[in-house]
Chains A and B, each alone.
Chain A
Amino acid sequence: MSALSLLTLILLILMLLVGGKHGLSSFISVVLNFGILFLTVILIAGGFPPLGVSLFAGICILAITIYMGNSDETATNTAFLATIIVMLVMLVIIIPLDQIAQVQGFGNEQSEEIEAFNLLIGIKFESLLIATTVLSTLGAIAEAAIAVASGLEELIAQQNSITLSQLYKSGRTIGFQIMGMTFNTLFFGMFGGDLALFVLLYKLNATFGYYLNSKIFVGECLAVLFSALAVILVIWITIYLTGRKLNIKRS
């Protein structure tokens, strides 16, 4: 038995024990997301445009993550719409900024890993970078959108006569609590994976100036910053969408 299958089996058993039926559907959603991402890589490597493929994959991932993890229909619909809007907005923001930043592809620190390869492979690494940046934030924005949407729906169910400004105010309070936690998750998730990079940079006696300008460090920071931006946006948009829906329902 390979290590991967044993670990997968353990995870499945644990998720079943902890979450029951819900745990099973969560497990399936992770497996489906894995399949979609693997297919995305294969399609991009096969020459399909990275942005188009990722946009399509992104919508699928959002649908799976949001609809398979939750049963509350109204909250999930709002969350899904909000995340799709944010994904599109992020594309508009990331495309020009990544062009200016020039952080695509590989950094000098990775030269050992790629020296055996011919790098002229005819795939636009700029588009690939945009695709990966957007895809890596989807989990975080889906989580934040669901938390805000279901929190607000619960509030509306409890106080039927809640005014719009009260709703926005509570939305900000809920959003604030979620934001801190999500920043933490993103920060540790992204920088934790870069442990090897940080050790290497320190060993190379990198100067402060080098940190602020090097391809790989700036690239990793931009990824974290873009996802933070996406989380802020998704909280705003989810609150706004919930309020608008309430308004339409009342009038």
Chain B
Amino acid sequence: MLKFNLNSWQIKKEVVLLNLVKVIVKEVITIKKRLVIEIVLIILSGLCLYFVTTHNESWYRQDIGRIVSLKDGRRQMVKDEYNNRDYQTKQNLKIKLLNGKYQGKKIKLTNTYSASRAFDQKLHLGQEIFVNLHHENGQLVAAFAYSKRDTLLLMLIWIILVLLYLTMRFKGLRTVTSVTANFIIFLLFVKLDVNLNLTYFFWLFAASALIFTALSLILIMGFNRQCLVTFSSIVIGTSLGLAIGYLALWLTDNRGVHYEALDMATQSPEQLFFAATLIGLLGAVMDAATDIVVTLFELKESKPDISRRQLFLSGRQVGRAILGPLINVLFLIFFAETFAMAVLYLRTGNTFAYTFNWTMSLGVVQSLISGIGISLVIPTASLLSAYVLGGKTDVSA
């Protein structure tokens, strides 16, 4: 802090002035010093992470090899019955094993990649890959399993954390705490689901949805009346939305909806679909509900004699503005996920209608049910806030 005394100012101008300059210079240096230390720490942590993730082979139980030599074979054209042309190339490579029993040993293996690369990889010199080792006629043989991707994944997470810190200091890092906490709970519930193996496991994920919502809201707004109102409106609106969606599907006998087309389903696909829809729309619904509730509570504080009706109408006004964007956010996420499969269907001689029914319709149904949920949360949140905040009497908490 810069401090100086008026008395001494009058007595010894020069000395004080000199001191002042000294203090300022010192301040600037300390600020700069902190900044430099910060930047150095950030860069150092990045380098550390990079070094560790590129030298962590011994942490893995599966064998990892680095490609030390590589030769591409001749490109061969392949044509299928739909006149799709593709090219296949065989790669002969030698890897040096980096961990496990055979560490240091060099083995040859082959890999085939196509120009389209739907289910194969083009390998590069110096790249590290996971391999499956087995013995064949007494000889050690390796087969390519999958690429090593941990460095890239962790570095990208690091970059985002750094960006958040640089823009908003520790406040920025706090935005990811709710996501991280939810992710851990999500994995716990998946574990619970597999271990319990319930017949009606949808309700397990419905319970997880309640926990996600409560946790996120408490982290965002703290535990108070606003939080309770938001929570109740989300629960009511979302349940209503899902119930309407379920009813509509039941009334039409699921016509045109193929649950069995759900990717990677190992349990009842219908329940899995509804669980996925419920969790998928939670974020958007929370966004809408908090926006409305927070605005209405602020409105009530600035205008204590506002009527319930006016509060409700203002809530709808807020909801109106975010309704479209939120539905679009979810729609784009759900629809873009189906692209790869849809292209595969279309290129192999399937009609538009067939492709749509078997690859995209589930995504569209998911978006529609989410849209219904979001639309219902808006009046629910407005009504509940208006009711809780009361009429002309002041009930500020």
Residues of A within 8 A of B (CB): 1-4, 6-8, 10-11, 14-15, 17-20, 22-23, 25-27, 29-30, 33-34, 37-38, 41-42, 44-46, 61, 65, 68-70, 97, 100-106, 108-114, 117-126, 128-129, 131-133, 135-140, 142-143, 146, 172, 175-176, 179-200, 202-203, 207, 209, 212-215, 218, 221-222, 225, 228-229, 232, 236
Q: Is the CB of B330 within 8 A of A139?
A: yes
Contacts A18-B320, A23-B320, A232-B163 given: A136-B332 contact, CB under 8 Å?
yes
- Across the interface, which residues of A come within 8 angstroms of B159, CB to CB? 229
Decide: B263 and A122 in contact? CB cutoff 8 A.
no
Q: Which residues of A contact B264 (CB under 8 A)?
A: 109-110, 112-113, 196-197, 200
The 3 A-B residue pairs with the shortest CB-CB distance in the complex, in nearest-first order: A26-B324, A192-B280, A192-B279
Cβ of A200: which chain B residues have Cβ within 8 Å of it?
264, 266
Name the CB-closest residue of A to B154.
Answer: A212
Given A18-B323, A33-B331, A213-B149, A10 and B244 contact (CB-CB distance below 8 Å): yes
Asked whether, in the complex, the Cβ of B336 is within 8 Å of the Cβ of A10, the reply is: no
Report yes or no: B347 in contact with A229, Cβ–Cβ below 8 A.
Answer: no
- Chain B contact residues: helix, strand, loop or mixed: helix
Cβ of B233 under 8 Å from chain A: no
Establish whether residues A199 and B266, one from each chain, have CB atoms under 8 Å apart when the complex forms: yes
Whether the pair A45, B342 counts as a contact (CB closer than 8 A) is yes
Cross-chain contact A44 with B324 (CB below 8 angstroms) = no
Residues of B close to A118: CB separation below 8 A: 80, 84, 348
Neighbouring B residues of A197 by C-beta, 8 Å: 263-264
Partner of A7, one of B157, B248, B287, B329: B248
In the complex, B339 has a CB within 8 A of chain A: yes
Residues on the A chain within 8 Å of B86, using CB = 120-122
Is B22 in the interface zone, CB < 8 Å from A? no
Interface string of B59-72 (1 = CB under 8 A from A): 11110000000000
Contact call A214/B146, Cβ cutoff below 8 A: yes
Question: Nearest chain A CB to B251's CB is how many angstroms away?
Answer: 7
User: Closest residue to B62 on the A side, CB-wise?
Assistant: A209
Q: Are A15 and B323 in contact (CB under 8 A)?
A: yes
Stretch touching chain A among B30-38, B133-141, B188-196, B223-231: B188-196
Q: A193-B334, A198-B186 are in contact. Are A4 and B340 (CB under 8 A)?
A: no
Q: Apart from A122-B115, A184-B287, A192-B281, what are 7 other A-B pairs with CB-CB below 8 Å?
A: A15-B371, A101-B153, A119-B119, A120-B118, A135-B336, A184-B178, A229-B156
Residues of B within 8 A of A203 (CB): 194, 266
Q: Which of A113, A126, A132 contacts B337 (CB 8 A)?
A: A132
Q: Is the CB of B344 within 8 A of A117?
A: yes
User: Contacting A213 at CB < 8 Å: which of B147, B262, B323?
Assistant: B147
CA distance A174 to B167 in the complex (A): 13
Do B255 and A3 have beta carbons less than 8 Å apart? Answer: yes
| Contact call A2/B167, Cβ cutoff below 8 A | no
Best-buried of A25, A68, A105 by chain B (most CB within 10 Å): A105
Q: Which residues of A contact B119 (CB under 8 A)?
A: 105-106, 111, 114, 119
Within 8 A of A (CB), among B228-276: 244-245, 248-249, 251-257, 262-267, 272, 275-276
